[in-house]
Amino acid sequence: QVQLVESGGGVVQPGRSLRLSCAVSGFTFSNHAVHWVRQAPGKGLEWVAVISYDGSDKNYADSVKGRFTISRDNSKNTLYLQMSSLRPEDTAVYYCARDRTGTTLFFDYWGQGTLVTVSS
Which residues form the interface with other proteins (CB under 8 A)? 35, 37, 44-47, 50, 59-62, 95, 100, 104-108, 110-113
Q: Where are the alpha helices (DSSP H) in the chain?
A: none
Nearest residue to 107 (alpha-carbon basis) of 35, 58, 24: 35
For other proteins, the closer CB: 16 or 43:
43
Q: Provide, rounded to whole angstroms, the least separation between the CB of residue 45 and other proteins.
A: 4
For other proteins, the closer CB: 61 or 84:
61
For other proteins, the closer CB: 20 or 50:
50
Q: 18-25 and 45-51: which strand pairing?
A: unpaired
Strand partners, 52: none
- What beta strand segments (E) does the chain contain? 3-7, 10-12, 18-25, 34-39, 45-51, 58-60, 68-73, 78-83, 92-99, 107-110, 114-118
Contact (Cβ atoms closer than 8 angstroms) between residue 117 and residue 91: yes
For other proteins, the closer CB: 44 or 66:
44
Q: Provide, rounded to whole angstroms, the least separation between the CB of residue 37 and other proteins.
A: 8
Q: Provide, rounded to whole angstroms, the least separation between the CB of residue 99 and other proteins.
A: 9
Q: Provide, rounded to whole angstroms, the least separation between the CB of residue 52 and other proteins.
A: 12
